[in-house]
Amino acid sequence: MAEFFSFLKVFVGCSTLLLLAMLILMALPQSKLRAVGLELTKYALAAGLFLLIPSPVDVVPDVVPGIGWLDDIGYLAAAIAAVRSGLGERKKRLLYDEIELQNLRDQAGRN
């Protein structure tokens, strides 16, 4: 049992350092990790919202027809908005990558 807790301490310590490094890199405005992280976060939010629709845990119980489905409709609308926003982030990231690639080609052409 002591070996397990020793492993758990090392695992939690390494995970914490990795998480802090990721958070620092995501905080940098020009970081590619930030763009990818924002996109993936939006997709994860959409997946979570889609999972809330059939879930028995609701703000308003589904026992009341009509009124009980309002929160589910809200979850669906928010999930669709999150997916659209994620797709927008992807388009923006791909555009930035294309511009960066073109700048590199221009610099290589000048040399």
**One domain, residues 84 and 44:** yes
**One domain, residues 35 and 82:** yes
User: pLDDT tens-digit profile of 5-48?
Assistant: 899 999 999 999 988 988 887 788 777 888 888 898 899 999 99
What integer pLDDT is reported at residue 91 of this predicted model?
A: 93
What integer pLDDT is reported at residue 85 of this predicted model?
A: 95
When divided into structural domains, the chain yields a total of 2
**One domain, residues 13 and 55:** no
54 near 3, Cβ under 8 Å?
no
User: pLDDT tens-digit profile of 78-100?
Assistant: 999 999 999 999 999 899 889 98
**One domain, residues 3 and 17:** yes
**One domain, residues 14 and 42:** no
**One domain, residues 16 and 44:** no
Which comes out higher in pLDDT, residue 32 or 77? 77
pLDDT band at 108 (very low <50, low <70, confident <90, very high): confident
**One domain, residues 42 and 95:** yes
What integer pLDDT is reported at residue 14 of this predicted model?
A: 92
**One domain, residues 10 and 45:** no
Closest CA to 80 of 54, 55, 43: 43
Question: 99 lies in which domain range?
Answer: 31-110
86 near 42, Cβ under 8 Å?
yes
User: pLDDT tens-digit profile of 36-72?
Assistant: 888 988 999 999 999 988 877 777 777 777 787 888 8
**One domain, residues 15 and 38:** no
Residues 60-86 as b or e (16 or more Cβ within 10 Å = b): eeeeeeeeeeebbeebeebbeebbebb
**One domain, residues 48 and 81:** yes
Share above pLDDT 90 across residues of the chain, in percent, rounded to a whole number: 38
